[in-house]
Amino acid sequence: MTNHETSEIMTALRKIVGERHVVTDPAELQVLGCDWTKIFFVDPLAAVFPASTGEVADVVKFCKEHGLGIVPSGGRTGLAGGAVAGNKEIVISLKRMTRIDPVDRVGLTIQCEAGATTQAVQEAASAAGLFFALDLAAKGSSHIGGNIATNAGGLKLIRYGGMREQVLGIEVVLPDGSILDMNSRLRKNNTGYDLKHLFIGSEGTLGIVTRATLRLMAKPRNVQLACIAVRNFSDITKILTIASMEGATITAFEFFTDVAHGIVLQHAQGARTPFQQRAPFYVILEVEDAVGGASVMEPLLEKLYENDVCIDAVIAQNSAQFKELWSLRENITESLSAHGHVRKNDISLPVDMLDPFIRELVDEVAKAPKDIEVVLFGHIGDGNLHINYVGPKSGDKKQFQEAARKVEERIFSLLPKYKGSISAEHGIGLLKKKDLKFSRSEAEINLMRGLKKIVDPAGIMNPGKIFD
């Protein structure tokens, strides 16, 4: 592309979104064209910041007419290289589209533009006395559009489902620039294919989500939280079973290893362990008591001690302790990044297959290079295990990624026999394209490709993500 052509493109984009809302500065583009992964080549042509669905549609139409690739971009907290522009694409960021409409307290819904952050929607719901159920440590930065595009899972999926379960309707700008209005507030609507589900989890490859209608619910009351120290991994699934058998309404069931705990204590400001003696594993268990009913947590912990699946446990006594215990889990991702080079796996298995899988994982990890530390944590109550390979910051980033990739590949190849998934919640993006075959059959991948061709025949919408 000649300088003259580039400058004409910029002039046209500025006409659509305004002079100040097109970025071409190379240093800024390195940030705007990249997500949290920071391991891929980044080289967008420009980043644009539309203020309305109409402007998004006009930018997309322009890109289509000029054969320009588009990378939809939200809070850029994605962990799969989905919002990465490495081939002179136009990054379309929804950062200016943050409007949240007044809460519908009768139908329990909220409508917002896709650039609203997850936390802003949680807060708007809370201010209206209600609750938005998606929760993740990136909530302050991640956008509702990004949550929809990745079908984010998060910390409360075990109780409320993931993003898909929170979405009633969406508005999407398709790759030809037309606007598909599926932004319904209906809870029930069996009128043919429910097309919104095609876009949820499609990682920006089929269109740009510009607005959404989300489900709200009553605020959970009498929520109790415990951090439980555990001796063996197999005790974790036993705790889950006992909690369910005791009739606990589990709102979160997370775990992390002592290695993860140590890294958080080292890097997260103010973090301290609640235990006098450290244990190999910890469970974060959140339960909801029935309104006016007796407390569930204390008798449950007694049961766990009786069954010898718990070494020690701490119950949060006030909101400060509640936050402190949660932060031990929520600070893992940032602490790992501060600690060293990281390669992330985000697998899921049927919950009853976790024990045998972990035994095989331990054997594989024993064969890994000694300078790769394997850190485990995740949403274990729903079968989602985060395996993070961590290498020393002083080492070469590229070499580390290559070495960790070899271990990762061996671990992915274990998954088909457990009918597990290589990505529970982060998605495929650029990071796991090669590995899609471990979780999806050829027939499924061909159907996905066919659908992509129908919706985006020119292949301009987030090109090269999920599959080539």
Q: Which of the choices ligand FAD, ligand MLT, none does residue 72 contact, using the CB cut-off of 5 to 8 A by kind?
A: ligand FAD
Q: Which of the choices ligand MLT, ligand FAD, none does residue 391 contact, using the CB cut-off of 5 to 8 A by kind?
A: none
Q: Which residue is nearest to ligand FAD (CB)?
A: 146
Give every CB contact of residue 219 below 8 A, 6+ residues apart in sequence: 126, 129, 130, 131
What minimum distance in Å lies between the beta carbon of 71 and ligand MLT? 21
Q: Which of the choices ligand FAD, ligand MLT, none does residue 386 contact, using the CB cut-off of 5 to 8 A by kind?
A: ligand MLT
> CB of 424 within 8 A of CB of 383?
yes
Q: Between residues 59 and 315, which has the closer beta carbon with respect to ligand FAD? A: 59
What minimum distance in Å lies between the beta carbon of 448 and ligand FAD? 15
CA distance 38 to 91: 16
Q: Pick the binder of ligand MLT from 21, 64, 261, 386 (CB under 6 A).
A: 386
What minimum distance in Å lies between the beta carbon of 33 and ligand FAD? 11
Side-chain half-sphere exposure of 417, counting CA atoms within 13 A: 7
What minimum distance in Å lies between the beta carbon of 115 and ligand MLT? 21
Q: Which of the choices ligand FAD, ligand MLT, none does residue 42 contact, using the CB cut-off of 5 to 8 A by kind?
A: none
The yes or no reply on residue 137 touching ligand MLT (CB under 6 A) is yes
Buried b (16+ CB within 10 A) or exposed e, 49-66: bbbebebbbbbbbbbbee
Tell me the residue type at 181.
Answer: D
The yes or no reply on residue 423 touching ligand MLT (CB under 6 A) is no
What minimum distance in Å lies between the beta carbon of 156 and ligand FAD? 9
Q: Which of the choices ligand MLT, ligand FAD, none does residue 344 contact, using the CB cut-off of 5 to 8 A by kind?
A: ligand MLT
Lookup result for tokens 């095609």: 198
CA distance 26 to 16: 21
Each residue 173-202 as x (binds ligand MLT by CB under 6 A) or -, in order, gives ------------------------------
The yes or no reply on residue 333 touching ligand MLT (CB under 6 A) is yes
Sites of contact with ligand FAD (CB under 6 A): 35-36, 71-79, 82-83, 94, 114, 136-138, 142-143, 145-147, 149-150, 152-155, 203-204, 208-209, 333-334, 425-426, 429, 462, 465
What minimum distance in Å lies between the beta carbon of 385 and ligand FAD? 13
Q: Which of the choices ligand MLT, ligand FAD, none does residue 264 contact, using the CB cut-off of 5 to 8 A by kind?
A: none
Give every CB contact of residue 142 below 8 A, 6+ residues apart in sequence: 74, 75, 77, 117, 118, 136, 152
Q: Which of the choices ligand FAD, ligand MLT, none does residue 75 contact, using the CB cut-off of 5 to 8 A by kind?
A: ligand FAD
Kindly determine how many residues on this chain lie close enough to bind ligand MLT according to the rule CB under 6 A: 7
What minimum distance in Å lies between the beta carbon of 331 and ligand FAD? 9
What minimum distance in Å lies between the beta carbon of 371 and ligand FAD? 24
What minimum distance in Å lies between the beta carbon of 211 and ligand MLT? 26
Each residue 257-276 as x (binds ligand MLT by CB under 6 A) or -, in order, gives --------------------
Q: Between residues 122 and 234, which has the closer beta carbon with respect to ligand FAD? A: 122
Q: Which of the choices ligand MLT, ligand FAD, none does residue 9 contact, using the CB cut-off of 5 to 8 A by kind?
A: none
Q: Between residues 137 and 228, which has the closer beta carbon with respect to ligand MLT? A: 137
Q: Between residues 21 and 344, which has the closer beta carbon with respect to ligand MLT? A: 344
Q: Which of the choices ligand FAD, ligand MLT, none does residue 166 contact, using the CB cut-off of 5 to 8 A by kind?
A: none
- The pair of three-digit structure tokens given for residue 363, joined into one six-digit string: 């054997």
Q: Which of the choices ligand FAD, ligand MLT, none does residue 149 contact, using the CB cut-off of 5 to 8 A by kind?
A: ligand FAD
Of 380, 235, 239, nearest in space to 300 by CA: 239
What minimum distance in Å lies between the beta carbon of 122 and ligand MLT? 17
Give every CB contact of residue 115 below 8 A, 6+ residues apart in sequence: 74, 93, 94, 95, 96, 97, 98, 143, 144, 145
Interacting residues with ligand MLT (CB under 6 A): 137, 332-333, 344, 346, 378, 386
